[in-house]
Amino acid sequence: MKNRFVSNLLLSLVWIALTGTFTVANHVFGFILSFIILRVITKGSGTGRYFTIVPKIIIFMFYFLYELIKANLQVAYEVITPNFQMKPGIVKIPLDVKSNIGITLLANLISLTPGTLSLDVSNDRKVLYVHAMYVTDREEFIASIKNGFEKRILEILT
């Protein structure tokens, strides 16, 4: 998988050198173009993990941006309105992700999202404790984490 990524990166750099335009947009376009070329070239070789994980990572980044914008708007609304709509609470989230990197990634993504903060992981690494500003329904909150960030992290790491 590392070799595919390096090849993809080098081909995108070749694209930038050929076009002579050193912009972020041109680099992204070159990366996508080289990804497609590598996918077509290696179609029958059976080494498709790189070609399935890159789209999942891109989808994951867009999902995180969506959640980040949504949470920012919710917190900003809370700040500018006079009414107190918060229902803060600490929620115990059972973890399906088992690897250290997966737990760390999940905890950091939760903490990066406004209105939520990862507090601790249990010693047996089966539970993550999260403080949230809006906990109206604990089961719904747990489901949103498990079906959102955790599900996508598991898709990428497995």
Predicted TM-score (pTM) of the model is: 0.75
pLDDT per residue over 12-25, tens digit each? 888 888 888 888 88
pLDDT value of residue 154: 92
Q: Check pLDDT > 60 for residue 130.
A: yes
CA angle 141, 95, 112 (to 5 degrees): 60
> Who contacts 137 (Cβ-Cβ below 8 Å, separation ≥6)?
none
Band (82; pLDDT cuts 50, 70, 90): confident
Strand 89-94, strand 116-121: pairing: unpaired
pLDDT of residue 47: 61
pLDDT value, residue 147: 93
Tell me the residue type at 157: L
| Residues 17-75 pLDDT 10s | 888 888 888 888 888 888 888 877 777 665 667 777 888 888 999 999 999 999 999 88
Residue 127 above 90 pLDDT? yes
